């Protein structure tokens, strides 16, 4: 292997030696590489496995390790999470390869995250051989009658092709289905023996690209669109809440236009950003805004309980049924992607006017219908709408002032407050073209980061899987590097320690990335659960840390990062020292390094009930 220098371009770090790659496809796996290139596959993260050794050889010695370029990962879960983050950052279908059975079992949680998150992934799994005479002794241990059964309950589609042309056709169809709304992961088994066979004498043909590319999503029924528009225009206190559609920068404009037409309040759904922070209609972070709304438009929410809460008997005062004291319009395709195995996103939430549509398409339809109705309104109705617009803007100014004051109030706190941590990172990167790949979830201070709208934050795992973050932040950073943006990740210590090997992949492939660890030395989310149960049962709440704390010894995260080749600093314990540490880290990132700053933070204060 020869190593070449690379900056922010896509020059491979690992360049094959020897004569120029033979572009004549002599083997079935060579044809598969040609197909992946024609589909626009740029990177292929994987952990090595003998079940796809033929494909591996073709990627290197036929494809020249370029388009797609191999990305070595130290665990299959990292490989799939990396592809997950890359897909969300680029908006396209990402590809990953996993070893048969044991590799797929390692990767299975990451596949589930991608399914819940509607991430368009094409997963290639080495398999078999199905032909028993082709099996080596180890292949009997790693073969299954139906390998895809492992993940069938949480992929859109799977295939186990039995001949060379069927393999190419199956991968092409999988690529199309993964990227067609509702998007999601697909799984194609690539038989080990099939990969290594010479191309048949009669030849193979690459599928027509028109059969491979994602298809436009459906629009909503026009009558339903008109009914939704009338309901929202007639509302006295409309609220718009948007979710996963915020991964797409082009969603921001129609959301803003619709909010302004309706003079509606706006909120981002949990763990999403779709709307400009500074826009006067943005009330993200105001918990009371839902209570005052008489009509809600939900756009591509992963869980409609965010706008129509469903109580639980395990929560104090819960009713157990969805609140129906306000009208709900929902643009979603989730009913087209149910699972008989997982209940994700399937809480019984009634929708008054459902718009079954690809979210951006349905949003544009609804905006146009509202514009037609508003343009025909009498002057007195327009004055009412203008007064509401002024009231929402005043509420926005007051909310943002409170949010800034809350962060200022903890600026000097030690241990460092998570809210100040987020604010300090914002101060450090605000003048750069940045992409936030990860952030705090429950302790995130709304209103401090000035998001331009969609496409600026990649959200969370989707399935709630701890360990998603390390691979996903590297995948997002890879896309950011190629588009000239600064990738930033604020990650919890527990999440990072689940898959720290992702740091090696980022360093090895020279993917610059700023990582700030919100390190409270605990799986603190579960400390809160233990606190709540003990309090409810009248038992000592002071024991809630047992089995939760990552301490005694505390993990030296900076030393761990340096062992993978990253620049690192910390632990930072003095809030006054945090800006300088972030500045030094950014200098390292500017030099092309992966930089990690370990920040010891205070756990989020518990809310007493």
pLDDT in tens, 7-56: 455 666 788 887 655 578 899 999 999 999 999 999 999 999 989 999 99
The 10 Å Cβ neighbour count of residue 325 is: 8
Q: Which residues pair with 96 in a beta bridge?
A: 123
593 and 446, same structural domain?
yes
Which positions of the chain have pLDDT values less than 50? 1-7, 608-609
**How many alpha carbons fall within 13 Å on the CB side of residue 537?**
12
**Positive or negative torsion for Cα 447, 451, 455, 456:** negative
415 and 398, same structural domain?
no
274 and 184, same structural domain?
no
My answer on whether omega of the bond before 68 falls inside 30° of 0, hence cis, is yes
Phi, psi angles (nearest 5°) of residue 518: -85, 90
Per-residue confidence (pLDDT) for residue 534, from 0 to 100: 82
Contact (Cβ atoms closer than 8 angstroms) between residue 184 and residue 115: yes
The 10 Å Cβ neighbour count of residue 309 is: 16
Which residues are CB-contacts of 22 (< 8 A; sequence separation ≥ 6)?
61, 62
Residue ending a domain, choose from 190, 211, 232: 211
Residue 286 maps to a domain: yes
Contact (Cβ atoms closer than 8 angstroms) between residue 175 and residue 122: yes
472 and 358, same structural domain?
no
DSSP symbols for 422-444: HHHHHHHHTTS-EEEEE--STT-
Contact (Cβ atoms closer than 8 angstroms) between residue 382 and residue 544: no
399 and 326, same structural domain?
yes
**Residue 560, both tokens:** 């761990």
**How many alpha carbons fall within 13 Å on the CB side of residue 369?**
20
Residue 217 maps to a domain: no
Query: 533-549: buried (b, 16+ CB within 10 Å) or exposed (e) per residue?
Result: eeeeeeeebeebbeebe
395 and 263, same structural domain?
yes
Residue 517 maps to a domain: yes
Which one, of 117, 172, 123, 180, lies nearest residue 152 by Cα?
Answer: 123
Contact (Cβ atoms closer than 8 angstroms) between residue 301 and residue 271: no
Query: How far, in Å, CA of 354 to CA of 206, rounded?
Result: 40
488 and 521, same structural domain?
yes
Query: How far, in Å, CA of 480 to CA of 90, rounded?
Result: 9
3-state secondary structure of 342: coil
Which one, of 129, 126, 132, 176, lies nearest residue 148 by Cα?
Answer: 126
Indicate the burial class of 397 (C-beta count within 10 angstroms; 0-12, 13-18, 19 or more). exposed
Residue 607 maps to a domain: no
**Residue 226, both tokens:** 């008109």
Element (H, E) at 164: helix 164-179
Contact (Cβ atoms closer than 8 angstroms) between residue 309 and residue 325: no
The CATH number of whichever domain residue 78 belongs to comes to 3.40.50.970
Contact (Cβ atoms closer than 8 angstroms) between residue 251 and residue 242: yes
The CATH number of whichever domain residue 268 belongs to comes to 3.40.50.1220
539 and 466, same structural domain?
yes
State the DSSP code for 60.
I
237 and 267, same structural domain?
yes
**How many alpha carbons fall within 13 Å on the CB side of residue 6?**
20
Residue 148 maps to a domain: yes
Contact (Cβ atoms closer than 8 angstroms) between residue 8 and residue 481: yes
Residue 445 maps to a domain: yes
3-state secondary structure of 587: helix
Residue 609 maps to a domain: no
Q: Which domain holds residue 75?
A: 2-211
Place of tokens 């999503």: 217
Per-residue confidence (pLDDT) for residue 6, from 0 to 100: 40
pLDDT in tens, 354-366: 999 999 999 999 9
Residue ending a domain, choose from 372, 404, 436: 404
Q: What is the pTM of this model?
A: 0.93
Query: How far, in Å, CA of 35 to CA of 504, rounded?
Result: 29
Contact (Cβ atoms closer than 8 angstroms) between residue 38 and residue 70: no
Which one, of 243, 298, 241, lies nearest residue 88 by Cα?
Answer: 243
Phi, psi angles (nearest 5°) of residue 14: -105, 110
Residue 384 maps to a domain: yes
Contact (Cβ atoms closer than 8 angstroms) between residue 472 and residue 438: yes
Query: How far, in Å, CA of 399 to CA of 283, rounded?
Result: 7
Residue ending a domain, choose from 211, 238, 263: 211
**Residue 588, both tokens:** 């390292």
300 and 195, same structural domain?
no
Query: How far, in Å, CA of 566 to CA of 384, rounded?
Result: 57
**Residue 314, both tokens:** 């395990």
353 and 448, same structural domain?
no
State the DSSP code for 58.
I
Describe the crossing of helices 418-429 and 379-408 by its angle, rounded to 10 degrees: 110
416 and 399, same structural domain?
no
Number of domains in the chain: 3
């Amino acid at each position: 292997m020869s190593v070449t220098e690379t900056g922010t371009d896509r020059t491979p770090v690992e360049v094959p030696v020897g004569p120029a790659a033979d572009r004549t496809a002599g083997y079935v796996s060579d044809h598969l590489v040609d197909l992946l290139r024609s589909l626009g596959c740029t990177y292929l993260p994987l952990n090595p496995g003998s079940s796809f050794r033929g494909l591996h050889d073709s990627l290197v010695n036929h494809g020249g390790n370029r388009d797609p370029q191999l990305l070595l990962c130290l665990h299959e879960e990292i490989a799939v999470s990396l592809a997950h983050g890359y897909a969300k950052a680029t908006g396209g279908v990402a590809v990953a390869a996993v070893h048969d059975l044991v590799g797929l079992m390692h990767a299975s949680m990451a596949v589930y995250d991608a399914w819940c998150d509607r991430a368009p992934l094409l997963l290639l799994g080495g398999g078999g051989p199905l032909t028993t005479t082709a099996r080596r002794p180890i292949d009997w241990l790693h073969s299954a009658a139906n390998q895809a059964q492992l993940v069938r309950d949480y992929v859109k589609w799977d295939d186990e092709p039995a001949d060379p042309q069927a393999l190419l056709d199956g991968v092409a169809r999988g690529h199309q289905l993964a990227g067609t709304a509702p998007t999601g992961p697909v799984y194609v088994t690539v038989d080990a023996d099939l990969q290594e066979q010479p191309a048949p004498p009669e030849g193979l043909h690459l599928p027509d690209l028109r059969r491979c590319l994602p298809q436009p999503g459906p629009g909503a029924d026009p009558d339903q669109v008109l009914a939704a528009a009338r309901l929202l225009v007639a509302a006295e206190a409309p609220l718009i809440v948007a979710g996963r559609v915020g991964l797409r920068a082009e969603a921001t404009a129609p959301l803003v236009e619709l909010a302004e037409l309706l003079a509606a309040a706006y909120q981002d759904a949990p763990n999403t950003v779709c709307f400009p922070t500074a826009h006067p209609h943005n009330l993200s972070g105001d918990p009371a805004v839902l209570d005052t709304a008489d009509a809600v438009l939900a756009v591509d929410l992963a869980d409609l309980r965010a706008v129509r809460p469903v109580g639980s008997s395990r929560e104090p005062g819960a009713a157990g049924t969805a609140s129906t004291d306000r009208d709900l319009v929902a643009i979603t395709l989730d009913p087209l992607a149910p699972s008989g195995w997982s209940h994700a996103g399937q809480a019984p939430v009634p929708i008054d006017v459902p718009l079954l549509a690809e979210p951006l398409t349905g949003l544009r339809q609804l905006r146009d219908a509202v514009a037609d109705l508003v343009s025909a309104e009498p002057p007195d109705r327009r004055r009412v709408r203008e007064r509401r617009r002024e009231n929402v803007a005043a509420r926005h100014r007051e909310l943002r002032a409170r949010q800034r004051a809350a962060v200022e109030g903890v600026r000097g706190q030690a241990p460092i407050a998570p809210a100040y941590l987020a604010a300090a990172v914002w101060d450090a990167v605000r003048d750069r073209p940045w992409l936030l790949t990860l952030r705090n979830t429950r302790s995130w201070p709304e209103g401090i980061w000035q998001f331009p709208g969609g496409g600026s934050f990649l959200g969370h795992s989707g399935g709630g899987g701890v360990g998603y973050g390390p691979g996903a932040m590297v995948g997002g950073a890879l896309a950011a590097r190629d588009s000239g943006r600064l990738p930033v990740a604020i990650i919890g210590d527990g999440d990072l320690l689940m898959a720290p090997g992702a740091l090696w992949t980022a360093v090895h492939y020279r993917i610059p990335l700023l990582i700030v660890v919100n390190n409270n030395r605990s799986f603190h989310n579960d400390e809160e659960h233990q606190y709540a149960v003990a309090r409810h049962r009248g038992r000592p709440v002071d024991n809630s840390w047992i089995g939760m704390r990552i301490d005694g010894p505390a993990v030296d995260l900076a030393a761990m990062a340096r062992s993978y080749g990253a620049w690192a600093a910390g632990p930072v314990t003095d809030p006054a020292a945090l800006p300088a540490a972030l500045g030094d880290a950014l200098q390292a990132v500017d030099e092309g390094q992966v930089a990690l700053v370990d920040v010891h933070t205070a756990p989020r204060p518990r809310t007493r009930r």
